[in-house]
C-alpha cells in the first residue's frame, strides 16, 4: 500500500501538523491501495500563508516567464503520462487505456488551449476600443483555493491550476480525498518544473474539513470549485462572510434531442456517450429525447448496445467500462435505478445489483429506462452512473420544453441532419454548452453552464480571465 501522507507546501513535501490517516480504496477490488492524510485547519493555514507570501513575487513575474513554466509543466506531464494514467485508473476505476487517452489526454488538451490563448493575451488594453485616453488593466485576484472532484481529475485540476498560474495567482489545491493520487503526482510534476516556493500548494482532506477551511479563509480571494450542486451551495454560503469570488462548475442533467433525420449511428453514439467514464460525467447526455417515429427502433438499438457493453477491472487493457468510484456512489446509483422501477419507467436493460460476473468491485449494470416521465427521480436527479433515460416526443417544441424542464443547464445535445433545425434548437436550449451531431467543442471554447450547473467558464482565454480582476484607468 502506498504511503502518501505528506502535503506539498512552500515548495517541499511536509508532514501534516496532526496525523489523520485516510485510506484510498481501489474501486475495482474494494481494497485499500494507499493511505493519505486528512488535513486540518492548521495545514490549510500553513499552505495559505505560503501562497500569500509568494503572491507579490509571482504577480510581478514577467507573463512570458509564467508561460515558460506552464510549457515546462506540459512537457513533464506528457513525459509522465503513463504514471498519471496508472494513478487515475487505480484511484477512481477508469480503464487503463481510457485513463491514458481520455483522462490524461484531456488534461494535456486543456493545458495546450491555455498556452495558445495566453500567447495572444495582453494584461493591458484599451478600455473602449478605438479610444486611447483610458486603459483596461487585468490583475490577478490573489491567493485562490482550488477544490476538484474525482471523476476527471486531470481535466479539472488543469482547468484551475494552469489559468491561475498564467494569471499570476498563487494557490492551494484540495483534490478529492477519494481519488487523491493523481493530484499528488501532479504536485510532483509542479515540483520538477521548479516553480517558485509557495506558488502552488496542495493539502489533502475532505470537503467538510479542508474544503470548508479554504472557502471561509480570510486570506483567500477566490474559490474555484467543481462538484455537486449541493456542495456548491454550501461553499457559496461559507464564502459569503469574506466576500470572496466564488467560481462554481456544478452538476448536469444533459438533454439529448434525437430527431428522425439524425445520422444512422446517433442512438448508438448517444448510449455510449452516456455510459462513458461509467456515467460519471457532469456533461453526460443522460436524458435521450427521441422523435416518436423512430422511438421503438431507438429502444431496440439502445437495449442491444447496453447489453453488449463490456465491464472489466480498471487494469485490464481494451475498450470497456470500469467500476464507479466508491461504495457510496454505487449505493446511490442503485437507489435511483430502483426508484425508476418503482415509479413505473420501463426497464429495457440492466437494473439493480452488481454486474454479472463480479463478486467484488463497484460495477454497476449499464442500465436503460424507456417511457420516462418528467416527474420521475431519474428524469430530474443527477445519477452520475451508467443510467440512461429515454423519452419520446412528437414535436420540436415539445422536445425543447421537456429538455429545459430541469434545474440544471450544463451541456445539451442535438442530433439532426437539418442544419437549420439544429441551429434553431440549440438556440432555444437553456444551457451553457450545446453539442450538435456528436461534434465536440474546440479547445478555444469554455466549459461551463447556467442555472444549478453553476456559471463557471473554464478553459482557454475564458478560464484565464476568471482569475483576473479588471481595473479601469483614465488619462492613460
C-alpha separations of 345 from 293, 318, 320, 340 in Å: 20, 33, 27, 5
Nearby residues of 65 by Cβ (< 8 Å), 6 or more positions away: none
DSSP string for 43-63: HHHHHHHHHHHHHHHHHTS-H
Based on the residue annotation, tell me whether 249 is a catalytic residue of this protein.
yes
- DSSP structural state of residue 211: I
Nearby residues of 367 by Cβ (< 8 Å), 6 or more positions away: 306, 337, 347, 349, 350, 351, 385, 386, 387, 388
User: Is residue 314 within 8 Å of 361, Cβ to Cβ?
Assistant: no
Q: What sign for the dihedral angle of Cα 100, 103, 106, 110?
A: negative
CA distance 206 to 20: 11
Nearby residues of 274 by Cβ (< 8 Å), 6 or more positions away: 256, 284, 285, 286, 288, 386, 387, 388
454 strand-pairing partners: 249
173 strand-pairing partners: 146, 202
Catalytic residue among 177, 282, 291, 382: 282
C-alpha cell at 345: 419507467
C-alpha cell at 125: 488594453
* Residue closest to 326 by CA, chosen among 109, 22, 7: 22
Catalytic residue among 91, 249, 382, 435: 249
CA distance 59 to 73: 19
Based on the residue annotation, tell me whether 213 is a catalytic residue of this protein.
no
| Helix (H), strand (E) counts: the chain | 16, 20
Nearby residues of 153 by Cβ (< 8 Å), 6 or more positions away: 88, 91, 92, 103, 175, 176, 179, 182, 183
Catalytic residues: 249, 282
Amino acid at each position: 500500500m502506498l504511503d502518501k501522507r505528506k502535503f506539498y507546501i512552500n515548495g517541499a513535501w511536509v508532514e501534516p501538523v496532526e496525523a489523520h490517516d485516510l485510506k484510498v480504496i481501489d474501486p475495482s477490488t474494494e481494497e485499500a491501495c494507499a493511505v493519505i492524510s486528512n488535513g486540518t485547519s492548521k495545514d490549510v493555514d500553513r499552505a495559505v500563508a505560503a501562497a500569500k507570501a509568494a503572491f507579490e513575487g509571482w504577480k510581478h513575474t514577467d507573463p512570458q516567464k509564467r508561460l515558460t513554466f506552464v510549457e515546462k509543466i506540459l512537457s513533464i506531464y506528457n513525459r509522465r503520462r503513463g504514471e498519471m494514467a496508472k494513478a487515475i485508473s487505480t484511484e477512481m476505476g477508469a480503464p487503463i487505456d481510457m485513463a491514458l487517452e481520455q483522462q490524461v489526454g484531456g488534461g494535456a488538451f486543456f493545458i495546450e488551449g491555455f498556452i495558445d490563448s495566453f500567447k495572444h493575451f495582453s494584461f493591458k488594453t484599451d478600455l473602449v476600443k478605438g479610444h486611447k485616453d483610458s486603459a483596461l488593466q487585468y490583475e490577478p485576484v490573489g491567493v485562490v483555493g482550488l477544490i476538484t472532484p474525482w471523476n476527471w481529475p486531470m481535466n479539472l485540476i488543469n482547468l484551475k491550476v494552469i489559468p491561475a498560474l498564467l494569471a499570476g495567482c498563487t494557490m492551494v489545491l484540495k483534490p478529492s480525498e477519494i481519488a487523491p493520487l493523481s493530484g499528488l503526482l501532479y504536485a510532483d510534476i509542479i515540483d520538477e518544473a521548479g516553480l517558485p516556493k509557495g506558488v502552488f500548494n496542495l493539502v489533502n482532506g475532505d470537503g467538510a474539513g479542508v474544503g470548508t477551511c479554504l472557502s471561509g479563509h480570510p486570506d483567500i480571494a477566490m474559490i474555484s470549485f467543481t462538484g455537486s450542486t449541493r456542495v456548491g451551495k454550501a461553499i457559496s454560503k461559507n464564502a459569503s462572510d469574506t466576500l470572496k469570488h466564488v467560481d462554481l462548475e456544478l452538476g448536469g442533467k444533459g438533454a439529448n434531442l434525437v430527431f428522425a433525420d439524425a445520422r444512422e449511428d446517433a442512438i448508438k453514439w448517444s448510449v455510449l456517450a452516456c455510459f462513458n467514464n461509467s456515467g460519471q460525467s457532469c456533461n453526460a447526455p443522460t436524458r435521450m429525447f427521441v422523435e416518436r417515429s423512430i422511438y421503438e427502433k431507438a429502444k431496440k438499438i439502445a437495449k442491444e448496445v447496453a447489453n453488449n457493453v463490456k465491464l472489466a477491472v480498471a487494469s485490464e487493457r481494451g475498450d470497456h467500462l470500469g467500476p464507479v468510484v466508491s461504495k457510496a456512489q454505487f449505493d446511490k446509483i442503485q437507489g435511483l435505478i430502483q426508484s425508476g422501477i418503482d415509479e413505473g419507467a420501463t426497464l429495457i436493460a440492466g437494473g439493480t445489483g452488481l454486474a454479472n460476473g463480479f463478486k467484488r468491485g463497484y460495477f454497476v449494470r449499464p442500465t436503460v429506462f424507456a417511457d420516462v416521465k418528467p416527474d420521475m427521480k431519474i428524469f430530474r436527479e443527477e445519477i452520475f452512473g451508467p443510467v440512461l433515460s429515454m423519452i419520446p416526443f412528437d414535436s420540436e417544441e415539445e422536445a425543447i420544453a421537456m429538455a429545459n424542464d430541469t434545474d440544471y443547464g450544463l451541456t445539451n445535445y442535438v442530433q439532426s441532419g437539418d442544419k437549420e433545425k439544429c441551429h434553431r434548437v440549440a438556440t432555444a436550449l437553456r444551457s451553457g454548452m450545446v453539442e450538435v451531431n456528436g461534434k465536440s467543442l474546440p479547445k478555444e471554447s469554455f466549459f461551463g453552464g447556467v442555472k444549478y450547473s453553476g456559471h463557471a467558464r473554464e478553459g482557454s482565454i475564458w478560464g484565464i480571465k476568471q482569475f483576473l480582476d479588471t481595473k479601469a484607468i483614465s488619462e492613460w
